[in-house]
Structure 1
Amino acid sequence: MKHRPAVLIASLIAALAGAGCSAGLPSGGARDADPDRLRLAMLQPPRSGLSPLSDDAFKLSRWSTAETLVGLDADGGAVPALATSWEQVDPRTWRLQLRDGVRFHDGTRLRATHAAASLTAAAQASPPPRILDGVTLRARALDGDTLEVTTADPDPLVPQRLSSPQLVVLSPAAYDGPAVDPVGTGTGPFELTEVDGTSGATLERFDGYWGERAALAGIDVAYVPDGTARAAALRTGEADVVEAVPVGQAARLDQDLVHEVPMPRTNTLYLNTERGPFADPAVRAAAREAVDRARIVASVYEGRADVAQGLLGPAVAWAAPLRDTPSYAAALAGRARPAARVDGVEISLGTFTDRAELPEVAVLLEQELEAVGFEVEQDVREYQYIEADALDGAFDAFVLSRATVLDSGDPVAYLYSDFACRGSFNLSQLCDPAVDRALERAAALPVGEQRQRATLAAEAAVLATDAVVPMLHERVVQGESARVSGVLRDPRERQLVATATDVR
């Protein structure tokens, strides 16, 4: 991957942060903005060098530089993207017809062999992309424009899986080196031309795009983990679009520039079930009872969030009615009773600074847990420096803001990833046969009401273990300057800049 300085707003935002994030418009700010380019301040830097096989794929998707075979509509249904149609040949086999006239940014024409190679690279990755947790997938070209995808077990969700940004299709050049390189190898309306490590990236309009020509000449991206600096960049006109404005900063901004997006994202406390104090279900139950969800919503989120009743929030509209059933209540009734005494029980609590609210949540959790007798030691870092430890089970408890339908538009993939014995993002180190059976039942059902009911049964099975305490469902705040139009407000955090996005 090539690395050279990109034309970014990073230095301007750094200056704002160093100057105490002054609200005044600095010289060289909005008055000198390129009228044809969008300046974007993003929450987190890349974690894996912009590899599409990691969560960095969602950056590539939000920049409209890399594309998938299938898209999702507002209800989570599969719609055409690089594939125009698909059919299920048998329970384990799907055939897709690719769009004609698509070229990669390096000029290569899209063929079925390229799509098969991209899917094969994802399927063989270690660890695999989250969307392929528990799925054995194979892809091959039947002819120039026909792709066949097979799974080891029947999987009714294959089209939705193929919509995951972690399964984007890149040109053969992307796979030449030791890491997958998205620079100049996508198919979207914007070509990724330069990357600057964890500082930013530059994209240019791709005039050979198969669809509508982009209105913008390009995009200048800066990664700004500091929430106050992101808000200041919007307020002073240094950025056109700002991801995840902290709720504590939102009230200080012009409210015409602030847009709340209801997100399928849950702020969750994960408890380590494998070792340490929380290996005891009764101690986990004591922690669950100590958490005051309403207090966290009112104080940290200033009311801009919803108290969690389960893992799936209001953005998953069908979830709440299905909780009001005898079977759901019976599953929760089987939870362990809280330990009578936890006085002096020492626990480590981790979280990260990239989402400004999380350290504040950790402070309140520490107070609430210590009020019932726990002794809490916090560890708070940037996400890129704490993720590996969290996945390795280094903490007794970890606070995470987690998207629940991020990958496929269907919550089963998230539940499997986070709570199955073989899940790749299992922060709770949970391995419970009842949970695995519930997840397997849900995964085997076709999209529809039966699958939804089975998904809620799996949620109940997870909650019955007390491996996790869902606290609240977030409403991410997106900032957009007055000079920008056509920015997407996507609950799934897949789309942001589109061909119709423009500045004036």
Structure 2
Amino acid sequence: MRVPARLLSLTAVTAAAALLTGCFAGTGSTGSGTGERIRLAMMQPPRSGLSPLSDDAFKLSRWSTAETLVKLDARGDARPALATEWRRSGRTWTFAIRKGVTFHDGTEFDAEAVVRSLRAAADASPEPRILDGVELTARADGDRVVVTTATEDPLVPQRLSSPQLSVLAARAYRGKTVNPVGAGTGPFELTKVNGTASAALDRYDDYWGERAKAPGIDVTFVPDGTARAAALRSGEADIVEAVPVSQAALLDEERITEVPMPRTNTLYLNTSGGPFAKAALRAAAREAIDTGSIVAGVYEGRADAAEGLLGPALPWAAELRTDVRRPTATKAKGETITLGTFTDRAELPEVAATLQQQLQQAGFEVRLEIREYANIESDALAGEFDAFLLSRATVLDCGDPAAYLYSDFASDGSFNLSRLADSSVDEALTKAGGTATGAARRKAVVAAEAAVLATDAAIPLLHERVVQGDAERVVGAAHDPRERELVTADTYVR
């Protein structure tokens, strides 16, 4: 039975805070200038040694240490960053490179450096998911970079905004590994990484843009959500990433911010084998699930029940969405399924337990398998589960959901947990990816979403709202729906 957050004993919270005492005392050098270093508690430790070619890239972006050619504005439109302007000619895009930029090791930022980083990403195995289905080449032309794709791609600037395509100094690339320490161009220099425990960054005083207001950042990785919340309560942390819903009620409401996220909790059903290879049983699973009770019970109302894969962070999706014709359900007759999820997001195990009850009431036998994400992802991608519960960002990479839809549901998508291979879905995804930005593209994206939903290969449950904690003395912390920014040059502690 779940205990409401308001009834939780503060003993556990106090104990968790005690475990963190000293963790945020300052693991890096003091940097130059005045002010206090920012103590940051993050949810997930690095999975790939902070390589920008992995999801760790978003940590580098949230710490303002690694930068890209392009950034996105609030609407998802491309704006200058390390590139000052660009133009398109068919399959070719030409980017003018910003002058006066240096890497943190003092070497010059130039077109050759951009080409080196883009080639490293294009040649990586596995390649960054922002490049799923994209064949990209790059060459230097004086102080410009010429990017060419195998087919016309209207989203090249948006793709180049992905933190996985950050530009790093030559020193970062050694064989097959990428080490970002001292190799970025942002207002903070990554100076120290202590495995999966902590990291430190100092202000980079030769930054090409606005000088950072804080002298540095001390990062501690705290997978336990109760401990993260306790760190904010006790004053051990200044900024806390992803406060669990169960802990939010224990915090001062003025210290937390809820942001509707382009993030969907989805139940992916394995269409390649097992019970869910049958569309009728996938439909039975869909009809068995009560998302409203999950939102009210597990998330205490701090989430939005899903009507599609794209949620309120993209309001145009609801405006364009129409009814979807789904398969007819058959009654389950004791089919055994294995449902997997992970512990890194505190609510997911409880959601999985609720799904287990709902599916068993519908006639399925459900086994749960719950591990840390780093220990379960490979099995999920290999199709070892009949169903997998995932909290998935839908516009994380390029500000456009077409890339997420392709990655997760195309026959050759790199993150196809459902192992879906459907020609109608592939056709809709290809059309959405090739449509020019604007109203026509949004319509094509919603049509692709409908094609996926019509297969019941994925059952969207809810759209998360991230709960971020900021201490009273923190000024200017970013509350970014895309999870790209957290500490910026304007963030400091009073």
Q: TM-score range by the shorter chain?
A: over 0.9
Q: Secondary structure at the match of 2:141?
A: strand
Q: 1:397 matched to which residue of 2? A: 387
Q: 1:151 matched to which residue of 2? A: 149
Kindly state the Cα deviation for residue 18 of structure 1 after the two structures are TM-superposed. 9.8
253, 276, 279: which one aligns with 2:277: 279
Q: Secondary structure at the match of 1:465?
A: coil
State, as a whole percentage, how many aligned pairs show the same letter: 65
Q: 1:154 to 1:352 in 2, by over 3 A?
A: same
Q: 2:109 matched to which residue of 1? A: 110
Kindly state the Cα deviation for residue 30 of structure 1 after the two structures are TM-superposed. 8.6
User: For residues 7-26 of structure 1, what are the structure 2 equivalents within 5 Å?
Assistant: 20-21=15-16
Residue segments in structure 1 that go unaligned for 5+ positions in a row: 1-15
User: CA–CA distance in 2 between the matches of 1:402 and 1:25?
Assistant: 29
User: CA–CA distance in 1 between the matches of 2:412 and 2:20?
Assistant: 51
Residue 376 (structure 1) aligned with residue 366 (structure 2)? yes
Equivalent pair of 1:23/1:235 in contact (CA under 8 Å): no
Equivalent pair of 2:13/2:226 in contact (CA under 8 Å): no
Higher mean C-alpha displacement, 171-180 vs 71-80: 171-180
Q: 1:494 to 1:26 in 2, by over 3 A?
A: closer
User: CA–CA distance in 1 between the matches of 2:90 and 2:25?
Assistant: 55
TM-score normalised over the length of structure 1 = 0.92
User: CA–CA distance in 1 between the matches of 2:344 and 2:81?
Assistant: 32
206, 229, 239: which one aligns with 2:204: 206
Kindly state the Cα deviation for residue 29 of structure 1 after the two structures are TM-superposed. 7.9
**Alignment length (residue pairs):** 479
Kindly state the Cα deviation for residue 26 of structure 1 after the two structures are TM-superposed. 6.0
User: CA–CA distance in 2 between the matches of 1:276 and 1:410?
Assistant: 33
User: CA–CA distance in 1 between the matches of 2:75 and 2:24?
Assistant: 40
Kindly state the Cα deviation for residue 308 of structure 1 after the two structures are TM-superposed. 0.2
User: CA–CA distance in 2 between the matches of 1:183 and 1:25?
Assistant: 25
User: CA–CA distance in 1 between the matches of 2:414 and 2:203?
Assistant: 36
Kindly state the Cα deviation for residue 200 of structure 1 after the two structures are TM-superposed. 1.3
Residue 65 (structure 1) aligned with residue 56 (structure 2)? no
Residue segments in structure 2 that go unaligned for 5+ positions in a row: 1-10
Equivalent pair of 2:37/2:216 in contact (CA under 8 Å): yes
User: CA–CA distance in 2 between the matches of 1:121 and 1:25?
Assistant: 38
User: For residues 292-371 of structure 1, what are the structure 2 equivalents within 5 Å?
Assistant: 292-324=290-322, 329=323, 332-333=324-325, 335-340=326-331, 342-371=332-361
User: CA–CA distance in 2 between the matches of 1:77 and 1:429?
Assistant: 32
TM-score normalised over the length of structure 2 = 0.94
User: For residues 480-491 of structure 1, what are the structure 2 equivalents within 5 Å?
Assistant: 480-491=470-481
Q: Secondary structure at the match of 1:361?
A: helix
User: CA–CA distance in 2 between the matches of 1:29 and 1:273?
Assistant: 46
Counterpart of 1:135 in structure 2: which amino acid? V
Equivalent pair of 2:104/2:204 in contact (CA under 8 Å): yes
Q: 1:54 to 1:288 in 2, by over 3 A?
A: same
Counterpart of 1:122 in structure 2: which amino acid? A
User: CA–CA distance in 2 between the matches of 1:390 and 1:122?
Assistant: 24
User: For residues 103-182 of structure 1, what are the structure 2 equivalents within 5 Å?
Assistant: 103-143=102-142, 145-182=143-180
Q: 1:22 to 1:444 in 2, by over 3 A?
A: closer
Aligned CA RMSD, in angstroms, stands at 1.9
Kindly state the Cα deviation for residue 104 of structure 1 after the two structures are TM-superposed. 0.4
User: For residues 29-68 of structure 1, what are the structure 2 equivalents within 5 Å?
Assistant: 35-68=35-68
User: CA–CA distance in 2 between the matches of 1:181 and 1:27?
Assistant: 27
Q: 1:7 matched to which residue of 2? A: none
Equivalent pair of 1:297/1:307 in contact (CA under 8 Å): yes
Kindly state the Cα deviation for residue 20 of structure 1 after the two structures are TM-superposed. 3.0
Q: 1:93 matched to which residue of 2? A: 92
Residue 80 (structure 1) aligned with residue 80 (structure 2)? yes
Q: Secondary structure at the match of 2:16?
A: coil
Equivalent pair of 1:29/1:237 in contact (CA under 8 Å): no
417, 421, 435: which one aligns with 1:445: 435
User: CA–CA distance in 2 between the matches of 1:24 and 1:179?
Assistant: 33
Q: 1:223 to 1:27 in 2, by over 3 A?
A: closer
1:296-338 deviation per Cα after TM superposition (whole angstroms, max 9, x unaligned): 00000000111100000000011001013xxxx3xx22x2211
User: CA–CA distance in 1 between the matches of 2:24 and 2:391?
Assistant: 32
Equivalent pair of 1:171/1:186 in contact (CA under 8 Å): yes
User: CA–CA distance in 1 between the matches of 2:265 and 2:344?
Assistant: 14
User: CA–CA distance in 2 between the matches of 1:405 and 1:74?
Assistant: 12
216, 225, 233: which one aligns with 1:218: 216
User: CA–CA distance in 1 between the matches of 2:147 and 2:294?
Assistant: 45
Q: 2:378 matched to which residue of 1? A: 388
Kindly state the Cα deviation for residue 208 of structure 1 after the two structures are TM-superposed. 1.1
Q: 1:240 to 1:501 in 2, by over 3 A?
A: same
User: CA–CA distance in 2 between the matches of 1:92 and 1:177?
Assistant: 30
Q: 1:496 matched to which residue of 2? A: 486
